[in-house]
């Protein structure tokens, strides 16, 4: 579809997401020449703003400012878009509270947004399986599935997209990517900050709903899925669905940081978890018997998102008679410093044979010149192009909720101090991701 016949409408354009992420991402795309003549960016919101006031909120070139306009409310929005030109594709981005997605879709349809319109929605996609199903039904009443793009911004991170390239463009790894050679896969997402003003939302959600059901389940799928026949969106989605259908939660541990109840918006006595540790299995021939551990939380001792692939140890022969040789590991550093680390053993210089741990490192900042694109740049560009590869289907959201149902609110709630890392109780040999924090910074 030619960009010159496309427009972007941002609902909730006076809010934080639009002003901090979406408009700046579109501006960078414009400066790079990636939009190739996109002719309109329409902001919609409840605030009483003029187009001139809306434009003044962003430092930009005259060329980009001319693309921007503002309309208050959805009533009359379709007519406003028509006044900006004739478009064969309109991308409508819902930068809105998820609770009003369904009602807003009905308003858009009544306003006249039809077959030419694409609906882009942000996570969370529901609160549990039933609410996800209801949301999907509500959206499907007015927009068919091929015109609904569900965003998970983690999938647009360069380090996440590189997982499939690493796995399927390098023949050295494919033969050992199974439970015969891999002892465990461990996914870690740590934050130093607490709920930071999001207490009301977070207290209703918890860390499993906020992080595991969407971001971390998608990472799990990418690191374990079979190779798709092509990179077509449906081929990739089919392989991810196969993993989700085979996934089961074996154990779950939930904790809460001390002082959480004093956060603004948090219900007194709340039992919402701010930290979770899950043990899962994928019941397929490739992964049978191999545990996957997910650990994620707020107010921890460090910030970072990583995937660790821990290989099985050597037999107690030759160099490893005393069991002293560390197992090989591959660590995908997703953020804040993107890279890949391969842990090996090698001979230390000098007389005799003394083994030492060494690492081979690939760091994005060293390997490539220029700025790494921000996730929303990639997602917005794909939405304009109609490429659904990095977007989530209705079936994926429902399957993910279904598989995680046993972990929602499960078990007793433990406690930990802010700025600490709760010791793992489910993982027999946990990777210390903190030791990789200084790599690629």
Q: What is the 3-state secondary structure (H, E, C) of 329-349?
A: EEEEEEECCCEEEEEEEEECC
What average pLDDT does this structure show over 214-240?
A: 95
* Range in 96-105, 199-208, 322-331 with the lowest mean pLDDT: 322-331
Structure tokens at 374: 């921000």
Examine the pLDDT at 368 and tell me if it is beyond 70: yes
Higher per-residue confidence, 58 vs 240 = 240
Dihedral class, residue 425 (left if φ above 0, else alpha if ψ from -120 to 50, else beta): alpha
Examine the pLDDT at 206 and tell me if it is beyond 70: yes
What average pLDDT does this structure show over 298-306?
A: 96
The segment(s) of the chain belonging to CATH 3.40.50.720 are: 3-122
For 172-316, list the strands marked E by DSSP: 182-190, 247-257, 275-282, 291-297, 304-311
Higher per-residue confidence, 28 vs 60 = 28
Examine the pLDDT at 348 and tell me if it is beyond 70: yes
- At residue 37, the pLDDT reads 57
Examine the pLDDT at 284 and tell me if it is beyond 60: yes
Higher per-residue confidence, 317 vs 398 = 398
Catalytic residue chosen out of the listed positions 71, 80, 153, 215: 215
The segment(s) of the chain belonging to CATH 3.30.360.10 are: 155-370+389-436
Positive/negative CA dihedral, 109, 113, 115, 119? negative
Reduced to 3 states (helix: H, G, I; strand: E, B; else coil), residue 359 is strand
Please state the φ and ψ torsions of residue 102, each to the nearest 5 degrees: -65, -45
**Residue 261 catalytic?**
no
Binned at pLDDT 50, 70 and 90, residue 249 comes out as very high
Examine the pLDDT at 1 and tell me if it is beyond 70: no
pTM (predicted TM-score) = 0.92
Cα angle vertex 5, ends 28, 50, to 5°?
A: 60
Examine the pLDDT at 100 and tell me if it is beyond 60: yes
Examine the pLDDT at 13 and tell me if it is beyond 50: yes
Higher per-residue confidence, 3 vs 266 = 266
Structure tokens at 407: 């972990």
Binned at pLDDT 50, 70 and 90, residue 385 comes out as confident
Enumerate the H helices of 155-232 as residue ranges: 158-168, 199-205, 207, 217-224
- At residue 431, the pLDDT reads 94
Examine the pLDDT at 239 and tell me if it is beyond 90: yes
Examine the pLDDT at 145 and tell me if it is beyond 90: yes
Average pLDDT of the chain is 92
CATH superfamily of 3-122: NAD(P)-binding Rossmann-like Domain (3.40.50.720)
Contact present, 219 and 334 (Cβ < 8 Å): yes
Distance CA 275, CA 295 (A): 8
Distance CA 334, CA 440 (A): 11
**Between helices 101-111 and 129-140, what is the axis angle to 10°?**
0
- At residue 2, the pLDDT reads 41
Examine the pLDDT at 407 and tell me if it is beyond 90: yes
Q: Which CATH number fits domain 155-370+389-436: 1.10.1060.10, 3.40.50.300, 3.30.360.10, 3.40.50.720?
A: 3.30.360.10
Residue corresponding to tokens 């329409």: 42
| Percent of the chain topping pLDDT 90 | 71
- At residue 3, the pLDDT reads 46
What average pLDDT does this structure show over 179-197?
A: 96
What average pLDDT does this structure show over 87-111?
A: 94
Burial degree of 335 (CB within 10 A; 0-12, 13-18, 19+): middle
């Amino acid at each position: 579809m030619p960009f010159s016949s496309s427009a972007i409408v941002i609902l909730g354009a006076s809010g934080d997401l639009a002003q901090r992420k979406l408009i700046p991402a579109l501006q960078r795309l414009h400066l790079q020449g990636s939009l190739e003549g996109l002719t309109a960016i329409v902001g919609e919101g409840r605030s009483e703003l003029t187009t001139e006031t809306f434009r003044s909120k962003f430092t930009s070139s005259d060329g980009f400012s001319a693309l921007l306009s503002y309309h208050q409310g959805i009533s009359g929005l379709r007519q406003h878009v028509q006044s900006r030109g004739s478009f064969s594709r309109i991308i409508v981005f819902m930068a809105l509270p998820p609770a009003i997605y369904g009602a807003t879709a009905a308003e858009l349809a009544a306003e006249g947004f039809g077959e030419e319109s694409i609906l882009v929605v942000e996570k969370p996609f529901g609160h549990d399986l039933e609410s996800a199903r209801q949301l999907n039904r509500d959206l499907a009443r007015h927009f068919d599935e091929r015109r609904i793009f569900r965003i998970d911004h983690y999938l647009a991170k360069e380090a996440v997209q590189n997982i499939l390239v690493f796995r399927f463009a390098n023949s050295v790894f494919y033969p050992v990517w199974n439970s015969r050679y891999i002892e465990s896969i461990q996914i870690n997402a740590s934050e130093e900050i607490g709920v930071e003003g999001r207490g009301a939302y977070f207290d209703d959600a918890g860390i499993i709903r906020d992080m595991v059901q969407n971001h971390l389940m998608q990472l799990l799928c990418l690191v374990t899925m079979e190779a798709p026949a092509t990179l077509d969106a449906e081929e990739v989605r089919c392989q991810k669905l196969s993993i989700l259908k085979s996934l089961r939660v074996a154990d779950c541990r939930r904790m809460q940081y001390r002082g959480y109840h004093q956060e603004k918006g948090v219900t007194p006595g709340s039992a919402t978890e701010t930290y979770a540790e899950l043990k899962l299995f994928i019941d397929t021939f490739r992964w049978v018997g191999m545990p996957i551990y997910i650990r994620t939380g707020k107010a921890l001792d460090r910030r970072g998102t990583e995937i660790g692939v821990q290989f099985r140890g050597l037999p107690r022969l030759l160099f490893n008679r005393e069991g002293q040789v560390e197992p090989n590991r591959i660590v995908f550093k997703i953020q804040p410093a993107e890279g890949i680390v391969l842990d090996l053993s090698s001979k230390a210089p000098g007389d005799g044979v003394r083994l030492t741990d060494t690492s081979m490192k690939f760091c994005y900042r060293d390997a490539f010149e220029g700025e790494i694109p921000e996730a929303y740049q990639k997602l917005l560009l794909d939405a304009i192009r109609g490429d659904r590869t990095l977007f989530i289907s209705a079936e994926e959201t429902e399957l993910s909720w279904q598989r995680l149902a046993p972990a929602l609110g499960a078990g007793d709630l433990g406690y930990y101090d802010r700025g600490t890392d709760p010791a793992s109780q489910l993982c027999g040999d946990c990777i210390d991701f903190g030791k990789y924090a200084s790599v690629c910074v």
